Amino acid sequence: MDLEQIVQQILTVRHDLSREDILKKIYEKKRSAEDYFIDEVAARLVASELGVQLPNTEDSLRSEIAIKDLVTGLNDVTIVGRVAEIYPVQTFSRSDLTEGKVARLLLIGKTGTIKVILWDEQAQPVEAEKIQPGQIIKVSHGYVREGLNGKPELHVGRRGELEISPPEQESALPDTATKLEKVAALKPNMNDVNVLARVCKVEAIRQFRRSNGQTGQVASIHLLDETGPIQLNLWNENAEATENLKPGDTVLLEHAYTRQRFNKTELNLGTRGNLTPNPPLPEAQNLPPAKWESPPSQKRKINDIKDTDGPFTVEAIVDSQPETKEITTRMNEKVLLTSFDVADETGKIRLNLWRDQAEAASDLTVGTKLRLTNIYAKRGFSNILELTSRRHTTIETLSSAETAAHNKV
């Protein structure tokens, strides 16, 4: 049915409404969804809210909402997709002490992917292993709710229907095989990257303030596959996914992107990205055990340090009194910075230590010998080469200023 046919159908049932009233409601429905809906979809939603039942023909089902158009709050949704992943059935206790069941599927459609949540009796086909990866299923009369990661999920309850391998569907749906990139093959400025890796280390969520005054958050986890390690940065709502992760877990990253920082490639997960913990993929068996190792750090003399170099190790003497101050980063995050000069027999260079390292170095004195491991070099604001720390940088005191003074006597 097209827009005009739906409007006429509503008019035959709701005599209290004019054509203008109905069109206004349809316009408001589209606007509330930021024009994600085509006219016919918005009109169908309005008809449903007004209690008007439209013909339930196959043609009308084919014009139902595509996966990419699903937004939180939609009811009586029908979609068709291919099963990409199946998660184990879980049981839970309700407040009335009855036991419930829930199963989760990941469906791939022509316009995107969606997690499908099957409640109670709807979980039975998964429990009985009647649903297998690669099968096409039709989900009818579902409702859309926001998931823990802030993305829409399609829920199927008592009113819902689940049809396995519907006869009218062809094999035009995308294949379930997801192209996975190996860590060693990642390069800067790649988009829509899919990676399967093991979690080695999870860092705490950090808050920052944007230039517009709003607050954001980011968390980092260190990953490893059979080809090497990499750091993943999860931004804003995705950062909360780290709260339930621990070393040894596996993660499937979808629609991630890469950027270069400190001469290293890092993975990032933004609004389009998705993280699936412990996916039931056979490839996960090939991942190495969770063992976080810092990147190799070779020893450097100061005059051997090159532009955007690192990580490396430097042994040098504190050559000026450390100065500690609070600054605001480019991401409007307030952090501590301790700066001072260090020198060895080949030269002198400015050292900037951030956050925890800044606090630890604030009471160092001139003449103290340090070993800086996993330190980096970069150009400062005056385009002068400087040393800078990262989170895995370590500072070791080899001798104090008092010992150095005593040795000179």
Q: For the residues of 265-309, what is the DSSP string, one character each? A: EEEEE-TT-EEEES---GGGGGSPP----PPP-EEE-GGG--TT-
CA dihedral for 278, 283, 285, 286, sign (positive or negative): negative
Domain of residue 224 covers 183-286
Q: Provide the 10 A C-beta neighbour count for residue 390.
A: 19
pLDDT range class, residue 58, cuts 50, 70, 90: very low
Residues 47 and 122 in one domain: no
User: What local confidence, expressed as pLDDT, does residue 400 receive?
Assistant: 57
How far is residue 363's CA from residue 160's CA, in Å, rounded to a whole number? 66
From 154, 177, 200, give the residue that closes a domain: 177
Cα 370 vs. chain centroid, distance in angstroms? 38
Residues 45 and 114 in one domain: no
Residues 161 and 228 in one domain: no
How far is residue 108's CA from residue 110's CA, in Å, rounded to a whole number? 7
From 116, 147, 177, give the residue that closes a domain: 177
Residue 248 has pLDDT above 50, yes or no: yes
Please check whether residue 183 is in contact with residue 228, taking contact to mean a CB–CB distance below 8 angstroms.
yes
Residues 71 and 164 in one domain: yes
Q: Count of domains in the chain?
A: 4
Please check whether residue 99 is in contact with residue 91, taking contact to mean a CB–CB distance below 8 angstroms.
yes
**Does residue 136 form part of some domain?**
yes
Q: Name the 3-class secondary structure at 252.
A: strand
From 240, 260, 286, give the residue that closes a domain: 286
pLDDT in tens, 164-188: 887 665 555 655 556 789 999 999 9
Pairing of strands 193-202, 215-225: antiparallel
Q: For the residues of 25-73, what is the DSSP string, one character each? A: HHHHHHHHTTT-S-HHHHHHHHHHHTTPPPP--HHHHHTS--GGG--TT
**Does residue 293 form part of some domain?**
no
pLDDT range class, residue 61, cuts 50, 70, 90: very low
Residues 393 and 306 in one domain: yes
**Averaged over 176-204, what is the pLDDT?**
87
**Does residue 291 form part of some domain?**
no
For residue 311, say if its preceding peptide bond is cis, omega within 30 degrees of 0. Answer: yes
Residues 203 and 307 in one domain: no
